[in-house]
Amino acid sequence: MKITPIEQQPMLIKMNQLQQLSQYKNDIALPLQSFQASDVKFGQVFKSALDTVNDDGVKAANKITDIETGVSNDLVGAMIASQKASISFSALVQVRNKVIGALDEVLKMPV
């Protein structure tokens, strides 16, 4: 399978965004240029992540259904969409586990 330049562009943009998020200065993550610290709310970010994971799952399910019903013969695209949905779900579960662990630690703190 060869990735065409059209498919590479969104992937490169996403990789650059992730690289910017992973850069640290003095052990503090650099803020995104498009957001102020007061503009970002955890609930909004988490809901956005949930919506993205859900969309990935729906797209994968639709592609698999298209393969099964004979509407499409893009088996590779369906498998990639399925793996993308699986990876994004796994990442979301890991984030949720970290948040729950942090909340447990906060609740265990003496007042």
pLDDT of residue 111: 79
Give whole-number Cα distances, 58 to 36, 53, 54, 77, 81, in Å: 32, 9, 6, 14, 10
Tokens of 34: 């498009």
What would the pLDDT profile of 6-23 be if each residue is shown by its tens digit? 566 776 777 777 767 666
**Cβ atoms within 10 A of the Cβ of 49, count?**
15
Give whole-number Cα distances, 70 to 21, 60, 63, 73, 77, in Å: 41, 15, 11, 7, 14
What are the φ/ψ torsions at residue 95 (nearest 5 degrees)? Answer: -65, -45
Cβ partners under 8 Å of residue 93, min gap 6: none
Asked whether the predicted pLDDT for residue 24 surpasses 60, the reply is: no
State the Cα–Cα distance between residues 93 and 87, nearest whole angstrom.
10
Asked whether the predicted pLDDT for residue 33 surpasses 80, the reply is: no
Mean of the per-residue pLDDT values for the chain?
Answer: 80
What would the pLDDT profile of 63-77 be if each residue is shown by its tens digit? 999 999 999 899 999
pLDDT of residue 14: 73
pLDDT of residue 53: 93
